[in-house]
A and B are shown apart, each in its own frame.
Chain A
Amino acid sequence: MVEMTELTTLSTIKCKQQVVRAVRFNVDGTYCLTCGADKKIKLWNPHRQILLKTYGGHGNEVLDAAGSCDSSQIISCSTDKSVILWDVTTGQPLRRYRGHAGPVTCIKYNEESTMAVSGSIDNTVCFWDVISRRQEPVQVLKDAKDTITSIQVTDHEVLTTSVDSHIRLYDIRVGKMISDYIGHIVTYGNLTRDGQCYILSCADNTIKLFDKETGELLNTFMGHECIDYLLENAVNEKDSHIICGSATGEVFYYDLISSKCTQKLRHSDNKPVVSLNHHPTDNFLITACEDEIKLWGVQAMEE
């Protein structure tokens, strides 16, 4: 059991983006992307509180974004039904994919950033070939019967969660699709860092931990509140805690094993913490609430 050290706010950034829809660390956690309701994506260094670049070109609210593994490209998706591939340095859109019939809610790169996987309100998941100039999706998954809420991509798997109360795990290696019925709307799905469990934020104010192999429920985490918000969750770098935002403006740290709330971070008062992302390797958490993002971490003692 790893002892939790108290996390404190290291920095607070006012993004001036009306509302931040999603906040994402880049591959090594030095930068973060905020997707705003003002149709822009902003690239920040949250540790030093510097705005690096603004990416404008979407026709509507940006709902999700992801940075490529070499941090040279950004892929983003928006309510304008399009997916845009950005060049980080120039800030210009490289490609715009218009394959979805509805707002695109979530997007992820694969491991080598050769392909982007996007999920949409039109119930489909599209695979986009980022390498070639192909404009059409390489493959479209139409299994879901309602909005895709989140996507996770591993080296050979794609996990999608949907409002139709199912999660689907597409195994590219085996050629199988495993769908699990959850019984509640799944607002966000995540995989533990060891890749053995799903962490599913459900609309019934719980987070459920499932075993990937068997589909059995391992644990349920309760305490936070989600009032029709698509709240996200995260795991910390050691797989010891599950982190989740709440509609009450707090961030909950649950112990993975004991399912107890070990820590509450207060981000704001009664404003839902819709998006959060954990640093891939270090104990940093970034949370977004309205147009404010906060970086949480352990204060360095020697300074």
Chain B
Amino acid sequence: MSDSDDDNDNFVRYGTALEPIEEDEVPTKRKFQQAPDQYAVDEHGRRRFHGAFTGGFSAGFGNTVGSQEGWKPSNFKSSRSEKAAFSNQRPEDFMDEEDRGEFGIAPRQVQTQREFSGQKRQHRTQYHDGPIPGEPVLHQLLRPVHETAAVRMLRAMGWREGQGMGERLSSRDKKKSKEQHKVYGCYMPPELRQAQEDQSMEESESSDSEVDFDTLFAPDDYEPYILQRKNDRFGLGYSGLSRHSVLGNLIGEYGSEPGSSKSHLLMKDKGKRVSIRGQAFGVGAFEADDEDIYAKEDMSHYDFSLDGPVQTKKNTPKKDNQKNRNVLEGFVKSTKPLPSVPTYPPPALPRDYVPAAAGARRSRFEPTTQQPRDQGLGRHELSARARGELLGETPLPPPPPETPVKDQKDLTTVLGKTINFVSTVEKTELDYIPIKDSGKEITKVFKPFIGNPEKQKRYEKYLENKGVLERDGDMDKLQEWERERELVEFEQAAKLYKPLSGVMGDRFTHASEPDDAVNPLTAVAKSTNTYGLATKEQIEAAQKGMYGVMTRQTVTWRPDPLVSKRFNVPEIGGARQQEKKEDRPKVSYSIFSYLESSVHDKDSFAAEQNKFSGSKSLTTSILPKTDKKATETPQSSTQVPQNNDPIVQSTDTNAKPTTSASITKETVTGFAKRMTVAELFLKESENTKKEGAAVTDTIQKFDRMDLYKSIFLSDTEDEEDSEKSKVNDGTDFIDVPKNVERNTSPPRGIFANIDFDEINSWRRKEPEKVAEEPTKKNESIHKFNKSVGNPPEEKNDEANEAMYGPKIPENLQKRLESEVQKDSLKETIDVDSSSSEDSWVDIKEVKNKKQKKKKSKKHKSKHKKKSKSKKKDR
């Protein structure tokens, strides 16, 4: 052992210690073996195998091959001097001891000599040549059996067959030794056992007392315990359940009469004990508790009575036993029959059911009896005609009788000649719908923009021009961004409403000539099919060689932006604003992918929202699409309403401390303010129309902010702001309407008489108005522009007209009206008073300390404009 082990040699070690594993080292499963470890050696530590070139294994004298001494041959012995001592060489002379060992090439065994083995040595007997030559017949028939030497010795010592070996015993001892009983559970303590033995001894003595006690018996012969070869794959000691019934024979086997019943329940010792043979279940490999798992269960191990062994068996009448012979002891056959198991009738077979053997397999070449039905797809159930109707095709005329063609075909088959079908087949009616025509018809059927006839017209023109929007009269009405959007819309619509014929039409073409099934190698005329591309005039011109204008067609074609990029060519019409977002085109061309990418999906909707800043905010998005389209109409966008609405004005003034601060007004202004943002933009866009792209930027800037707000901030945030500013001003304190719902305490003070619920409910209805108003308001606004100081009744009428949604309750309406009147009156006054811009700005600055610079700017600019317009009006 190494020195390092000295300090802890107080414990014993066996074997060699493993080398400590380095921390970085990954321990390998395979133990590292050094080269010398990998040699197989014999017990003397010599190498056993040397490889083919070094002489095989254990080569040479004393395994010397490969060593320094080399192979040493046996010494030469001259046979001249000792001729007599000449001995033959045997193979053993050249063997090592391990070759002669158990695993060597010539293992040595200890064998009984022939003469002791019981096989007598065959003496070569000379048969005398008598009248019957050869081996005597009797000799052939009877062969003497020879005992082994041991048997002969035993015989000599007085042993008889059938006896055991050993000392002679008295009968009592013999019996005792016979009862080599197995014990289940704990061994009895010796004293107890002794007592039991004595007891049983007495019994037995009583039974065979007639035998002389002096007589000595030879012990019983030893029964060899013969191991049976295992020839099944069950677990050790397991014998499976045989098909014997528990009480009787093999079911349905021969000899099942009651007497010969080979029951598992056996009567041992003439009815004394009942034992059960066979074992159904073994014990699992992991169940350690059961110590004697291979024991055979025996009924004798159980006590059936509390008061010792009783002879009940004898009392039972034989007749009864006979009667219930299938009844276990202790059981009685029941008198009541078992409740019958409910039976269910088998299912009724279909009428046309043909039974087939279970194992019979049908060959796939066998003719099927029933027609395979087209699975799953309902469209196959439609007839061609029905499908055509669905697609809007004109129904086909019934096919003309085909007799002449058939005759010709027959002729060809008969004559075996090739007939040029091209010349013979006269051009009759087409037996198919021309794909192109059907496609055109369908495009006529699909009118995606039918709601807006002008747009539809533009769309059709767009389709005609194959993807290029032309500038014309009504096109100029539209703004740049609108045109862009429309282009995208048209593109998608064209994609969506192009039916199958459009997609497939350019992939397939009709055969110009019929297939000749008889002779597929018939000469086909050289195809000069123009596929309907060339007109008659063109063909004529080409034939005359008059190429040029006639034969030329120019079509607009739009190269993909990437193609232009790769060819280093500027894109036509400048880069489109809305590039395709997805880099990869969708592979799946399902209808859903088209629908998804249509204008009405979320993205494009948002984009549209960005572009079109009508009355934005949640209210528009809540509205159905039709409404949105209505707002999209060019009229609404081109005709920008003059922003002189009284309600709007009131919003502007709400920054200023108003003397009459009623909550109803507050809510009105809150709602109206949202409108003003939209209208402000419209106005702005009109002003900056010439600047083009810059406009859209500002729009997007504004609207992104507003969109964000409409999503993440509450509707009434604007109001809150204004309210806060008011609080700052300190002139007026009004409860924020939004918080009313949260405030659970009953209103006190000035709020005591106010019906908040009513107000709120009214407010909630209000937003629906928003979308509708801009359009409807236009007229009223114009009127109002003319006469700012009009009598308020007129305005109210218009306001009523413009009312949208459910009717306002009577009492509230009255109050509202009065409020609005007041407001409008006040407004005019306010505006007049605030005609100087400077004063406005000052107030604003005070107000907008907080944040919201953009907002303030907007307000400012709006007010400026408004005031300007007011001035103009004056």
**A123 CA / B533 CA spacing, docked (Å):** 14
**A163 CA / B512 CA spacing, docked (Å):** 14
Given A181-B533, A215-B552, answer yes or no on A123-B547 (Cβ-Cβ < 8 Å).
Answer: no
Question: Could you give, for residues 162-185 of chain A, a 1 whenever the CB lies within 8 Å of some chain B CB and a 0 otherwise?
Answer: 011110001111111111111111
Q: Which of A108-116, A264-272, A275-283, A290-298 lies at the interface?
A: A108-116
Check: B556 CB closer than 8 A to any chain A CB. yes
A217 proximity list for chain B (CB < 8 A): 545, 547-548
Given A145-B509, A156-B567, answer yes or no on A170-B557 (Cβ-Cβ < 8 Å).
Answer: yes
Q: Which of B515-548 contact A (CB under 8 A)?
A: 526-531, 533-534, 538-539, 542-543, 545, 547-548
A163 proximity list for chain B (CB < 8 A): 527
Q: How far is the CB of B166 from chain A (nearest CB, A)?
A: 92
Check: A136 CB closer than 8 A to any chain B CB. yes
Question: Could you give, for residues 109-138 of chain A, a 1 whenever the CB lies within 8 Å of some chain B CB and a 0 otherwise?
Answer: 011101100000011000101010010101
| Contact indicator B557/A127 (Cβ below 8 Å) | no
Q: Which of B528, B548, B554, B568 contacts A177 (CB 8 A)?
A: B554
Check: A216 CB closer than 8 A to any chain B CB. yes
| Contact indicator A142/B553 (Cβ below 8 Å) | no
| Contact indicator B555/A164 (Cβ below 8 Å) | no
Q: Which of A172, A174, A181 contacts B551 (CB 8 A)?
A: A181
Q: Which of B339-347, B558-566, B694-702 lies at the interface?
A: B558-566
Q: Which of B573-592 contact A (CB under 8 A)?
A: 573, 583-585, 587
Check: B569 CB closer than 8 A to any chain A CB. yes
Check: B507 CB closer than 8 A to any chain A CB. yes
Check: B506 CB closer than 8 A to any chain A CB. yes
Check: B396 CB closer than 8 A to any chain A CB. no
- Chain B residue, CB-CB nearest to A217: B547
B527 proximity list for chain A (CB < 8 A): 163, 185
| Contact indicator A215/B547 (Cβ below 8 Å) | yes
Check: A299 CB closer than 8 A to any chain B CB. no
Q: Which of A139, A174, A178 contacts B572 (CB 8 A)?
A: A174
- Chain A residue, CB-CB nearest to B552: A215
A136 proximity list for chain B (CB < 8 A): 584-585, 587
Q: Which of A145-162 contact B (CB under 8 A)?
A: 145-146, 155-156
Q: How far is the CB of A232 from chain B (nearest CB, A)?
A: 20
- Chain B residue, CB-CB nearest to A135: B584
Instruction: Choose among B529, B539, B587 the residue with the greatest number of A CB atoms under 10 Å from its CB.
Output: B529
Q: How far is the CB of A8 from chain B (nearest CB, A)?
A: 37
Check: A203 CB closer than 8 A to any chain B CB. yes
| Contact indicator B526/A203 (Cβ below 8 Å) | yes
A142 proximity list for chain B (CB < 8 A): 506
B132 proximity list for chain A (CB < 8 A): none
Given A164-B529, A164-B530, A217-B545, answer yes or no on A173-B552 (Cβ-Cβ < 8 Å).
Answer: no
**A190 CA / B156 CA spacing, docked (Å):** 124
Chain A contact residues (Cβ within 8 angstroms of B): what range?
35 or more
- Chain B residue, CB-CB nearest to A203: B526
A173 proximity list for chain B (CB < 8 A): 569-570, 572
Q: How far is the CB of A6 from chain B (nearest CB, A)?
A: 34
| Contact indicator A146/B554 (Cβ below 8 Å) | no
Given A136-B585, A139-B559, answer yes or no on A185-B528 (Cβ-Cβ < 8 Å).
Answer: yes
Given A164-B531, A203-B526, answer yes or no on A134-B584 (Cβ-Cβ < 8 Å).
Answer: yes
| Contact indicator A178/B528 (Cβ below 8 Å) | no
Q: Which of A155, A156, A181 contacts B542 (CB 8 A)?
A: A181
Number of A-B contacts (CB under 8 A): 134
A134 proximity list for chain B (CB < 8 A): 583-584
| Contact indicator B530/A131 (Cβ below 8 Å) | no
Main secondary structure on A side of the interface with B: loop
Check: A210 CB closer than 8 A to any chain B CB. yes
| Contact indicator A180/B547 (Cβ below 8 Å) | yes
| Contact indicator B555/A172 (Cβ below 8 Å) | no
A220 proximity list for chain B (CB < 8 A): 545
A214 proximity list for chain B (CB < 8 A): 548-549, 552
Check: A101 CB closer than 8 A to any chain B CB. yes
Given A136-B585, A145-B531, A217-B545, answer yes or no on A176-B551 (Cβ-Cβ < 8 Å).
Answer: no
- Chain B residue, CB-CB nearest to A214: B548
| Contact indicator A172/B559 (Cβ below 8 Å) | yes
**A181 CA / B532 CA spacing, docked (Å):** 12
Q: Which of A110, A171, A178, A181 contacts B538 (CB 8 A)?
A: A181
| Contact indicator A122/B547 (Cβ below 8 Å) | no
**A210 CA / B542 CA spacing, docked (Å):** 13
Given A175-B557, A179-B553, answer yes or no on A123-B506 (Cβ-Cβ < 8 Å).
Answer: yes
| Contact indicator A139/B560 (Cβ below 8 Å) | yes
| Contact indicator A179/B555 (Cβ below 8 Å) | yes
- Chain B residue, CB-CB nearest to A171: B557
| Contact indicator B551/A115 (Cβ below 8 Å) | no
**A173 CA / B563 CA spacing, docked (Å):** 10
| Contact indicator B530/A165 (Cβ below 8 Å) | yes
- Chain A residue, CB-CB nearest to B532: A145
B583 proximity list for chain A (CB < 8 A): 134
**A170 CA / B557 CA spacing, docked (Å):** 8
A178 proximity list for chain B (CB < 8 A): 552-555
Given A184-B528, A216-B548, answer yes or no on A176-B554 (Cβ-Cβ < 8 Å).
Answer: yes
Q: How far is the CB of A59 from chain B (nearest CB, A)?
A: 22
Q: How far is the CB of A242 from chain B (nearest CB, A)?
A: 17
- Chain A residue, CB-CB nearest to B542: A183
B568 proximity list for chain A (CB < 8 A): 111-112, 155
A180 proximity list for chain B (CB < 8 A): 547, 551-553
Q: How far is the CB of A211 from chain B (nearest CB, A)?
A: 8
Q: Which of B700-746 contact A (CB under 8 A)?
A: none
A166 proximity list for chain B (CB < 8 A): 533-534
| Contact indicator A115/B509 (Cβ below 8 Å) | no
A170 proximity list for chain B (CB < 8 A): 557, 559
Given A155-B567, A210-B547, answer yes or no on A183-B557 (Cβ-Cβ < 8 Å).
Answer: no
B542 proximity list for chain A (CB < 8 A): 181-183
Q: How far is the CB of A206 from chain B (nearest CB, A)?
A: 11
- Chain A residue, CB-CB nearest to B528: A165
**A129 CA / B509 CA spacing, docked (Å):** 29
| Contact indicator A131/B566 (Cβ below 8 Å) | yes
| Contact indicator A177/B572 (Cβ below 8 Å) | no
Instruction: Choose among A115, A142, A165, A179 the residue with the greatest number of B CB atoms under 10 Å from its CB.
Output: A165
Task: Give me 16 other A-B pairs in contact (C-beta within 8 A), A175-B556, A177-B554 excluded.
Answer: A101-B507, A112-B566, A136-B584, A138-B560, A139-B560, A165-B534, A172-B559, A172-B567, A173-B569, A173-B572, A175-B572, A178-B555, A181-B538, A181-B539, A182-B547, A183-B534
Contacts A/B (CB < 8 Å), 10 sampled: A114-B566, A115-B567, A123-B506, A138-B563, A142-B506, A164-B529, A166-B533, A172-B559, A180-B547, A216-B547
Q: Which residues of B come within 8 Å of A, CB atoms?
A: 468, 506-507, 509, 526-531, 533-534, 538-539, 542-543, 545, 547-549, 551-560, 562-564, 566-570, 572-573, 583-585, 587
Closest 9 CB pairs of A and B: A183-B542, A177-B557, A145-B531, A175-B572, A139-B560, A215-B552, A216-B548, A217-B547, A181-B551
